[in-house]
């Protein structure tokens, strides 16, 4: 499991998963029905990416989201 705390963390995870599957951005964009620009911005950690589209990309890469409470300080 990978802890994601920032949009940059999420973008890096998406990039690693895409590359590990041998996909180029245009390939993944085609499968997801989204634009290359959206994927590029997601992978760079753009904070305003639409959550529904992000979740769809994650699903297409075989990734899932699990949210848990952070330990209290």
13-62 pLDDT, tens digit each: 999 999 999 999 999 999 999 999 999 999 999 999 899 999 999 999 99
pLDDT at residue 42, as a whole number: 97
Q: What is the dotted CATH code of the domain comprising 7-60?
A: 1.10.260.40
Residue whose tokens read 């300080």: 73
Judge whether 3 and 9 are in contact, CB under 8 Å. Answer: yes
- Angle (CA) 25-31-35 rounded to 5° is 50
Judge whether 62 and 18 are in contact, CB under 8 Å. Answer: no
Q: Where are the domains of the chain?
A: 7-60
């Amino acid at each position: 499991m990978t802890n994601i705390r920032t949009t940059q963390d999420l973008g890096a995870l998406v990039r690693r998963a895409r590359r590990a599957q041998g996909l180029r951005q245009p390939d993944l964009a085609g499968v997801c029905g989204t634009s290359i620009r959206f994927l590029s911005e997601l992978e760079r950690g753009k904070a305003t990416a639409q959550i529904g589209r992000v979740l769809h990309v994650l699903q297409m890469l075989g990734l899932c989201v699990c949210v848990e409470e952070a330990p209290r300080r």
